[in-house]
Structure formats: C-alpha cells, structure tokens
Amino acid sequence: MSSPVQLIPNNSLITNSPEEGRQLAVKMARLIIKATQPDASVREKLRTIYAEDAAMLIAIGQVVATEFATIAAANNYWK
C-alpha cells in the first residue's frame, strides 16, 4: 500500500458523464492495486488469475461499485 503512483487521474472526481465516472471508478480501483503491488510483471500474472476466477471478478465488481458511489455523489449524479 505504498503510494508514489498517482491515485486519481487528473486529481478530480468530476466527470462529464456517468460513463466517464464509471471509467474513473475502474481506474481508481486499479490504481490502488498498482500502488500496493508496484511490480508490473506480478500484476500481469495476477490478472491472469482473477480474470478467470468468478469469485474474484465479483469482488472486483464490489470495489468498483463502492468507488462509483462516491464519484456519483461527487457529481450530484450528473443531474
């Protein structure tokens, strides 16, 4: 969980649309993994594991849903 990595692209939670907010949620989730495991070759190996594991794919969905809740609130739900 060390953090020289940039954790939030553009340093902002504000996006133009729900779709962009969702993409940001995916990126933010991924960047925490990158900060915790900075070695790209290890991450690549792990990707092969979680992309074929139903339980892990569901768990990734849970993280993205949680990040997205924050981003959606920050954008007042793009209303």
Enumerate binding residues for its own copies (CB under 8 A).
1, 3, 6-8, 11-14, 17-19, 22-23, 26, 28-30, 32-33, 35-37, 42, 46-47, 49-70, 72-74, 77-79
CB of 10 to its own copies, least distance (A): 9
Three-class secondary structure of residue 54 per DSSP: helix
Alpha helix locations (H) across the chain?
18-36, 40-50, 54-74
CB of 52 to its own copies, least distance (A): 6
C-alpha to C-alpha distance for 57 and 42, rounded to whole angstroms = 18
CB of 79 to its own copies, least distance (A): 7
C-alpha to C-alpha distance for 48 and 45, rounded to whole angstroms = 5
